[in-house]
Structure 1
C-alpha cells in the first residue's frame, strides 16, 4: 500500500481543481500570421489582403491588441465569401503557446484535415484528442471545421434606394449603400435567460477616391488619406434581444451601413472581424427596492399632476402681475382701468387661496398613502408586524432595522441548532460557518430559509464525521504508526507532511475496522476513511473564519440587498417630506398674497392721488410675481419631476438580470475547432468577401 503515492495524487487533483476555480477569463485579440512557406490549401485565405492591411493600419486599436498572448490556445477562423456574404471556404488556424515548453503537447480539436503550419512536428489523434510531439516548442496548425460558424455575415447593395445584386451594381454610378448584417448562431441559457453569445463585430472596406465621394458610415468612422477612404463600422448583433430592450426605446447597433456616391462602382472586397465578448466590464450594481418604485410612482401620479397645476397657477399669477404693472402705467390715462386690473388680480388670488386647503389636504393624503404602503412592504419583507413608519419617526426606525434584522436572523439560526441538541456556542459557530462555506462552494449567495436549513443539516452531519475522525486518530495514532513501520515506512517518512497524512488515514481506517492491523482490511476502508478526514479538514477550516461567516450567513438569511434597499427607501421618504414642506410653504405664500391683494384693492380708491407711487409699487409686484413663477417652475421641474423621474429609473431593474447573464456569457469563449475545458483561450473570426469589378 503506497501511502505517499496516494497522497501525491490527491494533491495533484486538488491543485487542478483550484486552478479551474481561480483562472479568470478575458479576451485579447491577437492576429495570427500564416507561414510564408505554406502553399497548401487555405494559404491565400489566411494571407492578408490589401483591404485587410489598410483597415488594420487605419484602425489598429480596433482590429489588433498586440502580438503577445498568455492564453493556452489562440484560434482564428478565416472565411472566404462571395461579394454578398455566401461562404465559399473556411480555414481555422490554431496556436498552442506551450509556455511550459513540454515535449508532449495535448489538445482537443474537432477540425479535420489538420496540418502543421509552424514546423515539421508530428501528431497523433484519437477521436478529438490530439497529441503533438512539440519538443518544447509552440505549435501552429490549421484545419477545416466540421460544424457551422457561430456568426454569419450578409452583404446587401443598393443603388439610389433600389436593392441590387453584386453583379448588377458593378460599374453603376449614383448614390450607393452597402449594408452588413450579422447573424449570431450560438446561444446558451445563462442565469435562466436564453442569451445569444455576445460578439463585437467590425466591418471594413477601402474605397478609391477616384470612384467614391461623400462617404459616411453608421457606428464607425471613415478616414480619407487623399487617395483612398478607409471605412470601419462596429455592431453588437443580438444585444437588444439579450438585454430585453425594445429597439424603439434604445437601438443598439446590430448592422453597419456605408453610404457614398459612386462613379462606376467597383470594390476590392470587404473585411469583417468578429471578436467574442463585449467591450469593457460591467461592475456596477443597480440597487433599490425592486417593485417598490413602481408602486410609489403610481401613488405619486396625483402629486405630479398637482405640481403641474401649481406651476400653471404661478404663471397665471405672473400674468396678472404683468397686467397690473401695465395698468399702473396706463393709470396716467385713466385710473378706472388700473382699478379694473387690480380687481382681476384680486379675483385670481382669491381663487388660488380658495384651493390652498384642498392642495394641503391632497398632499397629506399622498403622504399618508405612501407611508402606509412603505410600512406594509417592509413588514412583509422582514416578517415583523411591529415596524411602523411615520413622517416623524421613519428615519430613526429605518436606522435601527438593519442591525435588528441581522441579530434576529442569527438568533433564529442558533435556535434551530439548539433544538437539534447543539447548545455549545463554539460548536454552533463552527457548524454555521461550515454551512456558509458549503453555500459559497455551491455558488449560493442568495437562499431561502429552507435552503439555509438544509445546508446547516449538511454541516451538522459533517461536524459529526469530523468528531468521529478525531476520536479515531486520538485512539489509534500509536497503533497506526506501528502498522506503517511494519509496512516499510521510516521515521523520517512518517515525520514529513505526507507521512503524517498516512498516519491519520491509517488510524481512521483502524477505527472503522475495530482496530484491525491487516493491510488488506484497512485498505478496503480507504474511501470511507478519506471522507472522514475530508470532513475533519472542512470543519477545521470553518472554525478559522467562524465569527465572520456566521454574520455573513445571517445576512443571507435576511437578504443581501436589505441595507441598500433600506437606504433607498429612506432617501425616497426624505424627498417626499421635502415636497410636502414645499407645498405647505407655497400655499402659505398664496394665502399671504391673497390677503395683500385685498388690502391693495381697498386702497385703490386713493390711487388717483398717488399715481407715481402706485406705478413704482406695481413694478415691484411684477418683479416678485416673476420670481415666484420662476421659483415654482424650478420647484416643479427640478424638484417634483426630478423626484418622480428618479423613481422611474428603477425600471432598469427589469434588465439587470439579463445584463448580468450577457456579461457572464461573454466570458464563455466559442471555439470553431473546439477547446479542452482546462485550457485558457481566445477566438476570433475573419470574413473576407470577394471583389466586384465592372466588365471591360
Structure 2
C-alpha cells in the first residue's frame, strides 16, 4: 500500500506540473478494453457501417460548449458546437444529441431520424460540423463574487468605484458518478481543470495579486491566469497539508475607476484522460458504469409507466382534446401575430451576436502580439543568461527555450565542490611543476657534487692507511701523496661516477628533491589560497546559476500558460463567428415563421376534420405504451438488475480513488449527448460580460 500511495503522489505531482506548464490538452484514447454492445436497428446498413468502422477506424466526436454568462458567472445562453470526425470515411453516421435544433454549419449534408431516435447523417465520407443551443445544467458552474475594501458588492455597483477590490471565482462541480470505495458508495466528480484568464489595464489596476495563478505584465496591461480543479480533493480525500488542490481563485488589486472586460474560462477533463492504468481499472469502471445504468434504468421504467398512464388519460379525455383543438386554432392566430414580435427580438439578438464577434475579434487580434512578446521576453532573458555565463568564463551551447534546462543542469553538475577542487588543484600543480623543473640543472649539480663526495670518501677509505677527504686534500697540498696515487684515486672516482647504479641514484635523488620541492610549493599559503578561492567562487557561481535556472523555469510556466490561453481565445472567436452566422440565419428564418403560423392554422382545421382518426391512433399508442412498459420491466429484471447485483468489488485506498477519478473522466465524453459506442472529448469555454459604467 505504501508503494501505491507513493506512485499516486508521483502521478499527481506530474499532473499538476503539466497543468501549470500547459503544454497542450489533446485527449488520448481510452485503451483499457471498452466493451461495445451491438444495437439492433432493423436496418442492414447500420451493421455494415459498424463493421467498416471497426476495421478502418472509429467515428469520434469533438465537442466545444460556449457559455455566455453574466458578470456573476450565471449562464445566460449555452451554445454547443460538435465536430463528428469521420475517420473511416463512412457513407452514413448515426449520431445522438440532446439538441433540438441542429444546424449544419460547414456543409450541405442532411440527416434523417431512424427507429432508435438517432440522427442518421448522409455523410458521404465527410466530417460533420453542426451546432445549436441547449438548455441543460452545466457540469461546472461558476460563482463570481466581488468585494470593495473588504465588503461584498455587486458587479453593477462596483463599476466606476475605487479601492481595494477582490474578485473571487468559485467553481462548483456537479458532474459526478457514484463509485464504490471501501464498501461505500461515494461521489467521484469528473476532474475538470479550470483555467480562467482576464486582462487588466495597468492604469486602473495596481498591486495585482492572484491565488493559484500567474501574472504577466507587458507594461500597459496585466494578464491574469488562474487554475483550479474543483471536486478533485473530494475524490482523493487527501490531507490539505499533503497536497492542496484548489477549487477557486482570487484576484486582488488596488483599483481606480473599476471596469473589467470579459473574462474567459476554459474547462476540460482531457488531462486525466491521458493517464493509463494497464487495464487495472476495469472493475472500477464497470462498477461506476453499472451504478449509473441501474439508476438510469429505474428512471426509464418510471418514465414508461408515466407514459402509459398519460396516454390512458389522453384517451379518456379525447373529447376534451377535440375541444382543445378548437382552442389551438384560435391560438394559432395569436401565434401568427406574435411572429412579428419574434422577428424584432431576433434582430436584437443578431446585433448582440455581432458585438460578441467584434469583442472576441479584438481580443484575438492581440494573440500574436502577446505570444510574440512573451517569446521575445523569454529569448531576451536567455540572451542575458548567455552573457552572464560568458562573463563567468563558462563556455556552453547557446541557450534556447528548448535546451536551456538541460544545458544549465549540466553546468551545475560541473560546479560540484569536489570537481572544482580537483580542477583547481590540478591547475595549480600544472603551473608549479614547470617552475620547479626549471631549477633542475642547479639541483642536479648539487646532487652530483654530493654523490661525488660520497664516492671519494669510499675510495679514500680503501687506501692504506685510510684517509678522509679533508686528510687527503691536506696531504696532496703537502706533497705527501704521489702523483700516481692521485691518478688512481681520480680514475676510481670517475669509474664509480659513470657506473649505472651511481647514475640511477643521481637521477632518483634529483627527482625526489624536485617532487619534494613541488609538494612544498603546493602547500604554500599562496597556492592553497588560490585553490580555496576557486572553490568559493564555484560555490557562488553555482548558487547564482541555480537562481538563474529557477527564474527561467518560472517564466517558462508563464509562457506555456499564455500559449494555452491565446489558443483558447482563438477557439472562442471561432465559436462566436459560428454564433453570428447562426443568428443571421435565424433572422432570415423569422420571415418564414409567420407563413408557418398561417399554415398551422390551416393544418389545425384539417385536424378538426380528422379528430376521429386521432382517437383511433391514441388507442393504438396506448397499446404500444403497454408493450413498452412490459418489455422494459422484463429487460430490467432479466438483464440490468442481474448484472448490477453480480458486480460487488471492494476497492479501497488512494490508488483506487485515483483510478476511479480517471475512469469517470474518460467516461465523460460529451455534454450534449453521444452514442455509447462512440469516442469523444468535450471542453467548455465560459465568457462573462464586461463590467463598465
Length-normalised TM-score, structure 2: 0.37
Length-normalised TM-score, structure 1: 0.37
Rg larger in structure:
2
Q: Which has the higher contact order (CA 8 A, sep 6+)?
A: 2
